[in-house]
Amino acid sequence: MEITDWDDPTRIDDLEGGGERRVLACTDELMVVHYSLSEGEEGEPHSHEEATQASFVIEGSLELRGAYSGTVEAGGSYVIPPGTEHGVRALEPCRVIDAFAPPLAEYLPD
């Protein structure tokens, strides 16, 4: 078992809208990612062909776009099947945990 510290995650990426993505944990089967999003920041519609994505909104609220639409507030969660187009827009500053199974290669450490 490996313990990853918040200050020393597997990987950190700055997002275009001012937010941040931290890969907190990763195995061959599962990846856990934390997002901090600024109000109005968008994740453009996309899909993960091989991975299921489960998301939990820790703080704030966001608008789901794509195949699913709706508002998800703090305490809400959703699951996106593989190959399903989806995107988000932060309605206010928010923090979200995403779990991907299997992990996304593009988020793996360099």
Query: pLDDT band at residue 6, thresholds of 50, 70 and 90?
Result: confident
Residue boundaries of the structural domains of the chain: 19-104
Three-state SS string over the chain comes to CCCCECCECCEEEECCCCCEEEEEEECCCCEEEEEEECCCCEEEEECCCCCEEEEEEEECEEEEEECCCEEEECCCEEEECCCCCEEEEECCCEEEEEEEECCCHHHCCC
Residue 79's pLDDT is 97
CATH code, residues 19-104? 2.60.120.10
- Check pLDDT > 80 for residue 1: no
- pTM of the predicted model, to two decimals? 0.92
- Check pLDDT > 80 for residue 74: yes
